[in-house]
Amino acid sequence: MISVDVIIKADYDEVCREAARIILEEWSRKPDLVLGLATGSTSLGVYGRLIEAYQDKAIDYSRVRTFNLDEYLGLDETHPHSYAHFMDQNLFARININRANVHRLQGKPRDIEAHCADYEAQIKQAGGIDVQLLGIGRNGHIGFNEPGSSLTSRTRAMTLTRETVADNARFVSPGESVPRFVLTMGIGTIMEARLVLLLAYGSNKSDAILRAVEGPVTASMPGSALQLHPRTTIIADEDAARLLSRKEYYRWAYENRDQMTEFLE
């Protein structure tokens, strides 16, 4: 069964609350959950909620395994702009995760191709990713799979578009250059996750959400590949969802989700 569920929430806080709720629900079924984790501003609120859940003893991360979605090439993991550092500061240092269960792409691998192949092997060895958290770029990229990426692509090096470099400039200090090269899970890698959660907020993401949800499946809009995924949930705030033509249906389906569950049990 192929199904993209669209959940529309009032604002960013509600988007993050819903995403965290779903992750906690998945963990309750599988305490050794394998999480694919995204970086960037979109995911920050979710991580805040997951930290609160740990503080409230609603989750135990000791058996959870994680795989970071991407990393800048050329940066050590301790560099303040690396995604390894981002995850340490915004999640890992504040929960009881076993560091041996934290997997991430390296910014300075000796052999890029071998490192990417090994990362794919690690994911398979873990039994695959149970829940993959994603944001979406203004140009529709998921992970750092820029427009034109193969829909079957695997973990690899990518050159960022000028648009993405400009968008990422806000995360670096004035006068510092913005990284242009990255390692990222491929679209094919992402598509093998059992559940994909894609989050979006703000009107600047509305065109990308429209094209990803209701447009044709095309490599020029990487997010549209999720239309072919067996279990994807897109959670967007009102601003990000403003262009969707079927908003009322998405709301109706969400309101009736519990009744549907009765038939699936």
Dist. CA 91–CA 137, nearest whole Å? 22
CA angle 127/43/102 to nearest 5° reads 35
Residues in Cβ contact with 134 at an 8 Å cutoff, skipping those fewer than 6 apart: 38, 69, 142, 143, 190, 196, 197, 198, 199
What are the tokens at 47?
């991580």
> Which residues share a beta bridge with 232?
4, 196
Active site residue 146: yes
- Catalytic residue (one of 18, 71, 146, 167): 146
Residue linked to tokens 């995403």? 19
Active site residue 139: yes
User: Dihedral (C-alpha) 65, 68, 74, 75: value to the nearest 10 degrees?
Assistant: -70
Cβ(131)–Cβ(35) below 8 Å? yes
Element spanning 8, H or E: strand 4-9
Active site residue 141: yes
- Catalytic residue (one of 18, 68, 70, 229): 70
- Catalytic residue (one of 141, 145, 229, 239): 141
Active site residue 238: no
Residues in Cβ contact with 207 at an 8 Å cutoff, skipping those fewer than 6 apart: 138, 243
- DSSP secondary structure of 45-101: HHHHHHHHHHHTTS---TT-EEEESEEETT--TTSTTSHHHHHHHHTGGGS---GGG
- Catalytic residue (one of 68, 90, 139, 145): 139
Residues that are catalytic: 70, 139, 141, 146
